[in-house]
Each structure stands twice: as C-alpha cells, then as structure tokens.
Amino acid sequence: MANIRSKKAVLPLAALSVLALTLSACGGSEGDGGGEEPAANCSAYEEYGTFEGEEVSVYSTITDSEQDLLENSWADFEECTGIEVAYEGSNEFETQVLVRAQAGNPPDVAIFPQPGLLAAQAREGYIKPAPPEVEALVDENWSEDWKSYGTVDGTFYAAPMLASVKGYVWYSPTTFEENGWEVPATWDEMMELSQTIADSGIKPWCAGFESGEATGWPGTDWIEDVVLRQAGPEVYDQWVAHEIPFNDPQITEAWNTVGDILKNEEFVNGGFGDVRSIISTNVDVAGDPVVEGECAMYHQATFQAANWPEGTDISENGDIWAFITPGEEAGSSAITGGGEFVAAYNEGEPITAFLSYMASAEFANNRVEQGGAISANQGLDASLASSDLDRQSIELLQSEETVFRFDASDLMPGAVGANSFWSGIVEWINGTPTEEVVDTIESSWPE
C-alpha cells in the first residue's frame, strides 16, 4: 500500500542539511534590514486571499523528515495568506481518521494514500465534495485518470498530490558492463538475461517481503505490474473493480509468470538464501545485495532511492540505476504507481484556499524542488527534480503516451488489498499452489 511505502522514503542527511539552510534563509527578516516585511514573495499567493488568524487542520500518514519537507512546501502560503496550517502526521492514520470521523471530530483536511479508503469515507458521507475552484485546478493540472482516483460514484472529492512510479528494476551499471549484460527491452529478454546471469553463478534477483504488519506488499507490486503488462489495462481495471474474479485465468497466469522468477531457486534470493527467505527479508534492505554484487536486479518503486546505503551514486553511470519492468513488446509504456489525495471533512473559505493551493502547480514545484518527491501534476517543472531518476519518472507520469494505473491493492477493498492479497502472496512464496491462493483471496472479497 502506498502509505506503507511512503514512510520508507527518508531524505538523505545532506539534503536535510540543505533544507535547514534554506529554512534559515527564508526565516524571519529581523536583523536583515527587512523589518516586519514578509520573507516570501506573496504575488504568487494573492489569488488565494488573506485569512489572518484562521487555522486549517491537516492529518496524514506523512511523518519525520518527509513531514518537514511537506510543511516547508506550504510555509510561504501560510505567510502570505495568514492561514496557519496545523499539521499532524500519524502512523495510525488509517485507523484514527475513521475514529475521528465517527466521533464527529475529524480534521479539516486529510491526505489519503489509498483511494479505496477515501471512497469508503466519501460513501459514508464524511468527506465533502471538492469546491468548484479545486476541481477546475485538477482539470487544468491533472490527467483524467488521476482525477478519477479522487472521484467516487461520479462526484469529485479529492485532488491528487504527490506520486510514485512502481515497477523499476534496480541494477548496477558497472556490473552489467563488466559482464556484457544489456538492459532488456522485453519481458522475454529479461527472462533470458536472468538465465544468463544465473548461469554465470550469480543470483539474478534479490527480493524481500518482510514489512511488519504489512508483510507481503512488495509481492503485490510484482503481480500488479505483470497483470497490466500481460493482460492489459482493461483487464487490470476489471480486476480492481471485481468485474472479473480474483481467480480469473488471466490473473492466475500473471501469478505464474511472476513465479517463474520469484519461485525459481536458480533466480532468487541473492545475498539472503532460498525462495522462502523472501518472506523474512526486510524490504528496506532487500536490494542491498545489488550493491554488493550478490544479486543483479531488484524490483521496487522510485522510493527505493532512499533505501540504498548512504553515499550510493544513483545515476545512469553510477553505482545504481534502474529501468522500468519491460512489457511483452519493446517500447511498452504501461506503468503502475501510487500517490496521495487531499480531501476535506469540513468547509470554509480558508479550507478552500488551502485545497486550491495543494492542487496547484505552485505546490508541486515547491515540494519537488526540495527533493525526495515527484508528482504527476502537468504544471510541474520536471527540471526541479533532485535526481535524474525523479526527472525521468515525472516525464513518464506527465507523458500522454504513458498508460498509468494506480496500485491495485490500494484501490481494492481493505479486506483484500491490505489483507488477503498480502497474506496470500506470503503463503504462495511459502509453497501454497497458485490456484489455492487466488481462490482464497477471491473468497475474501466483500459481498
């Protein structure tokens, strides 16, 4: 699930130091000859109005260093509009936001990492439809696909915020060059490369599904990537909406295709052990053997960049780089990904002003410029990204040629997407046959 994954993206210490200097430079103007004049250039914020003394409470899963960056991204908005954003990040967001809503004490605004949870809150009548100003900004800055994830039963509720791109395959360019290996253009070429690497005595893949209560989620990303590439976007949509069962033959085929890699003792689990070691290997360190030369490839999203050992050069000719999991045909442009959505439990002009800012290109540029984040906002200047990989990912998200689909487990009902799908893929790695696993997951789908 996206919220679980986003917690792992910790900005490198050096970047935090830069941020601290930036915050210091943008701080109060006393002593620099500026008197009480605002440090920010407020001309870009005039359209939001002024609300001196007003407060908007915001609740989300984003904590730690990511919280600092998020709050810094609206610091000028606060200064120029007079709105104080009272932010609270929590690792218990998914539970507590429901409790607060039922108790009649919700935050003004919540940032949802799962469209499925957002939809459930909207259908129960807790979430307010988005103001027309916000919907107009989303129509201007986001694709119809992204708008649809914030829309429930035909009513638009929530603007997208940040994003991640799933399905990257991380590798060492040096190791590939030294061994004469080439980045594969198709799934078949990737399988041929895997066999070539295995024949050389190196395990081609490393993997790790351990993630506390969320153990199993990295495996669901594998299945989702293959369903989209093998069966196509229409089948993917039908699968997510339960218009076809979870044990449909096309979905079963995707599991078996992934099994050709993850359940192949020749191919996994470099640096850790046999196939079953995938279950006990923590996702945060599962890719480390790529750097150490004990495995050649690791499947993970853009936020893996924060998990590499400190000092790792992530660039096309550096220590680590990544290619998108290839499709059946060369040049396939289908990708999966995740993101957050900003929705309101309460109404009011200051809340509308905040929601409008969060849907704007100004917010996307302010947040991405600080590093460690990307967005599918069409108004985002990709050159502001902090790495080549982030720039590439933004361009993929903004391209009209890209077929994008949101993380399926985040769209499915919680009983499946955050429960039986996770536990089922663990049982599958542990030896349970594919048909038995997908039948069990299908039986867990809520009526």
In a domain, 18, yes or no: no
- What's the pTM? 0.84
Instruction: Specify whether 425 is located in the same domain as 319.
Output: yes
Instruction: Specify whether 118 is located in the same domain as 160.
Output: yes
In a domain, 32, yes or no: no
Angle ∠(208,216,171) on CA atoms, nearest 5: 35
- 351 φ, ψ (degrees, to nearest 5): -65, -45
Segments of 97-219 assigned E as strands = 109-112, 151-152, 155-156, 159-165, 168-171, 203-205
CA-CA-CA-CA dihedral for 437, 440, 444, 447, to nearest 10: 120
CB distance 157 to 129 below 8 Å: yes
Instruction: Specify whether 191 is located in the same domain as 231.
Output: yes
Of 342, 386, 308, 382, the closest CA to residue 9 belongs to 308
Instruction: Specify whether 323 is located in the same domain as 419.
Output: yes
Instruction: Specify whether 350 is located in the same domain as 366.
Output: yes
Helix (H, G, I), strand (E, B) or coil at 106: coil
d(CA 152, CA 121): 10
In a domain, 39, yes or no: no
Instruction: Specify whether 91 is located in the same domain as 142.
Output: yes
Q: Which residues contact 447 (CB under 8 A, 6 or more apart)?
A: none
CATH of the domain at 69: 3.40.190.10
In a domain, 47, yes or no: no
Instruction: Specify whether 390 is located in the same domain as 421.
Output: no
Q: Give me the domain span that covers residue 96.
A: 55-165+337-399
In a domain, 319, yes or no: yes
Instruction: Specify whether 418 is located in the same domain as 364.
Output: no
Instruction: Specify whether 210 is located in the same domain as 286.
Output: yes
In a domain, 246, yes or no: yes
d(CA 415, CA 24): 46
For 295, the enclosing helix (H) or strand (E) is strand 295-300
Largest CA distance in the chain: 72
Instruction: Specify whether 206 is located in the same domain as 61.
Output: no
d(CA 57, CA 49): 18
d(CA 137, CA 159): 9
Instruction: Specify whether 310 is located in the same domain as 354.
Output: no
What is the total residue count of the chain? 447
Please give the chain's pLDDT, 447 residues, in tens.
Answer: 444 443 333 333 334 333 433 333 333 333 344 445 556 789 999 999 999 999 999 999 999 888 999 999 999 999 999 999 999 999 889 889 999 999 999 999 999 998 989 999 999 999 999 999 999 999 999 999 899 999 999 999 999 999 999 999 999 999 999 999 999 999 999 999 999 999 999 999 999 999 988 899 999 999 999 999 999 999 999 999 999 999 999 999 999 999 999 999 999 999 999 999 999 999 999 999 999 999 999 999 998 988 899 899 999 999 999 999 999 999 888 999 999 999 999 999 999 999 999 999 999 999 999 988 999 999 999 999 989 999 999 999 999 889 999 999 999 988 899 899 999 999 999 999 999 999 999 999 998
Instruction: Specify whether 93 is located in the same domain as 135.
Output: yes
CB distance 325 to 331 below 8 Å: no
d(CA 411, CA 149): 9
Residue reference for tokens 């995938």: 278
In a domain, 16, yes or no: no
Domain total of the chain = 2
